[in-house]
Amino acid sequence: MTEVLMQRGLVRHEGRLAIMAAVAVLVGVAFMTIGLRGDLAFVVELRAARLAAMVLVGVAVAVSTVVFQTVCANRIITPSIMGLDALYVFCQTALVFALSGFGFAGIDPRLHFLGNFTAMTSLALALFLPMLRRRFDLTLMLLTGVVLGVLFRSLTTLLARLLDPNDFAVLQGTVFASFNAVEPDLLLLAGLITVAGVAIAWRARHVLDVLALGIDTAVGLGLAWRGTAAGLLVVVAAIVSASTALVGPMAFLG
């Protein structure tokens, strides 16, 4: 009887997923076809790049949030607690402050992407690598991320007050997520990072099921919790960094 109920629940769950997938496909088709005017080739190419960026960021947000909450055993916190989005905004503010608005606009997009990705990944590694030590407190790591986020936001506010109004206007256009001007090369690079991260998360789906049982239970079942959790959090950081460097900071969904 229990097995029958479980099978029925699985069928209902798969049916809901299929319906949501069909709705997503229909919305994508509508976005690509409704209101086409002018040079169709140019419009379709522009919309395709925007749609690809939206799908990429949506997948990155979903996978990173689920993996992060599973490892941390908390369904409220999101990857933004690590302070990566605050670091991204601080980096943009520091660049505008140092180079002015014209200098910032002249930065090569590829170099800009790689610089942001490297900075955010480095911060994540600094937070997660101590997990490999024998004595490590996950709560301490999360609180460290919160403190760093507050620090970066405070520094951002300080620099923003010192900016010229014209430079501040340039900054405002970079610290919010935007899908309007996505470089195809950067979209491909971010896509490769995201696909690799999603593939790793998919291969570790059974390990994540064990992690969801809690630290003590996972260790009791023979799982090397510290190494596994640190590796998965590095994957989360890579996905989050790639999506943030591509379109800007996103609101992660708990």
Q: Would residue 224 count as lying in a domain?
A: yes
The total number of structural domains in the chain stands at 1
Q: Would residue 19 count as lying in a domain?
A: no
- Which of the listed ranges 98-102, 106-110, 152-156, 181-185 does the model predict with the highest average pLDDT? 152-156
What is the pLDDT confidence band of residue 198, given thresholds at 50, 70 and 90? very high
Q: Would residue 16 count as lying in a domain?
A: no
- Higher pLDDT residue, 43 or 151? 151
Q: Would residue 22 count as lying in a domain?
A: no
- Which of the listed ranges 128-142, 189-203, 217-231 does the model predict with the highest average pLDDT? 189-203
Q: Would residue 73 count as lying in a domain?
A: yes
Domain hosting residue 213, numbered range: 35-247
Q: Would residue 157 count as lying in a domain?
A: yes
- Higher pLDDT residue, 197 or 13? 197
What is the pLDDT confidence band of residue 67, given thresholds at 50, 70 and 90? very high
Mean pLDDT, residues 172-177: 80
In this model, does residue 155 exceed pLDDT 90?
yes
8 A C-beta contact, residue 70 and residue 211? yes
Tell me the average pLDDT of the chain.
85
- Residue 35: CB atoms within 10 A of its CB come to 8
pTM across the whole model: 0.84
What is the pLDDT confidence band of residue 26, given thresholds at 50, 70 and 90? very high
Q: Would residue 4 count as lying in a domain?
A: no
Residue 215: what pLDDT? Answer: 82
Mean pLDDT, residues 202-208: 91
Residue 75: what pLDDT? Answer: 83
CATH number of the structural domain spanning residue 200: 1.10.3470.10
What is the pLDDT confidence band of residue 136, given thresholds at 50, 70 and 90? low
Question: Cβ neighbours of residue 171 under 8 Å, at least 6 residues apart?
Answer: 92, 93, 96, 101, 104, 160, 163
Q: What is the pLDDT of residues 210-233, one digit of tens each?
A: 988 888 888 888 888 888 888 898
